[in-house]
Amino acid sequence: MIPWLDGETPFPPLHKALRHPNGLLAAGGDLSPARLIAAYSQGIFPWYSEGDPILWWSPDPRTVLFPEEIKVSRSLAKVLRNRDYEIRFDTAFDDVIAGCAAPRADQPGTWITSEMHEAYLHMHRLGHAHSAETWIEGKLAGGLYGMALGAVFFGESMFSRERDASKIALVALVRHLLASGFRLIDCQMHTEHLASLGARAIARRRFSQLLSELINYPNPPGPWTQAGHINKPCRS
């Protein structure tokens, strides 16, 4: 059994999370800014399907990416050097969420419910949620979005409409985070895609320790629209 969150009910301790399914901690509550900030600050995130109650998770182990450990393959490095693209931040947040929520061939549905969409759009307006976007020939080709609190970026989802577009956005995000003093990217769950880019699993206890050290880093909320990059390789 897991507790039901009602009103101002706080989250239970992380060690109360179920082992099966891994990390399920609580249900109910809402997606208000105060609730979301409290959740992420403790290493908890919402994940549920349309029509179901809000479910809150804190899996063990936790998949993270230390920005300095990102792996850029030889083929991706070539793409970064030679392809025409533009990186933008926070210029099409709504469209990035819509892209992440769009149906995919390998998934029967989406966990990005309409309620989730609106909640993170609200967090974006408050300066806590951000998007990294890859634009090719003037069109949004891929990107990702997540929450930034302290010196931690909590990644939520990514999408691509063109080959490697989400990877380009991730590399650009990592470069921006490193330049801005961020120390950790939370990837939540393991995927082979993230592992290929350098993400690895750490114990939930270690993740909680890192959060306690990094969550109060003086990094005020606000838009990232001043950051960006246009890649125009020279043609011989």
Nearest Cα residue to 40 out of 211, 168, 166: 211
What the block records as the tokens of 221 is 């909320």
Q: Residue 27: its pLDDT value, please?
A: 98
Strand partners, 5: 28
pLDDT in tens, the chain (236 residues): 899 999 889 999 999 999 999 999 999 999 999 999 999 999 999 999 999 999 999 999 999 999 999 999 999 999 999 999 999 999 999 999 999 998 766 654 468 999 999 999 999 999 999 999 999 999 999 999 999 999 999 999 999 999 999 999 999 999 999 999 999 999 999 999 999 999 999 999 999 999 999 999 988 788 997 667 788 775 54
Q: Residue 235: its pLDDT value, please?
A: 52
Q: Residue 229: its pLDDT value, please?
A: 76
SS3 readout for 179-216: HCCCCEEEEECCCHHHHHCCCEEECHHHHHHHHHHHCC
Domains of the chain by start residue, with CATH: 4-59 (3.30.70.3550), 63-231 (3.40.630.70)
Q: How many whole angstroms separate alpha carbon 219 and alpha carbon 125? A: 16
- Summarize pLDDT for 62-71 with one digit per residue, the tens: 999 999 999 9
Q: What single-letter DSSP state applies at residue 16? A: G
| Residue 31 CB burial class (10 angstroms; 0-12, 13-18, ≥19) | middle
Apex CA 180: angle with CA 176 and CA 185, to 5°? 70
- Summarize pLDDT for 11-37 with one digit per residue, the tens: 999 999 999 999 999 999 999 999 999
pTM of the model: 0.94
Q: How many whole angstroms separate alpha carbon 236 and alpha carbon 157? A: 37
Q: How many whole angstroms separate alpha carbon 204 and alpha carbon 136? A: 38
Q: Angle formed by the axes of helices 114-125 and 93-101, to 10°?
A: 160
Alpha-carbon torsion 69, 73, 77, 83, what sign?
negative
Q: Residue 218: its pLDDT value, please?
A: 86
Q: Residue 146: its pLDDT value, please?
A: 98
Q: Residue 216: its pLDDT value, please?
A: 92
Strand partners, 148: 153
Q: Residue 227: its pLDDT value, please?
A: 63
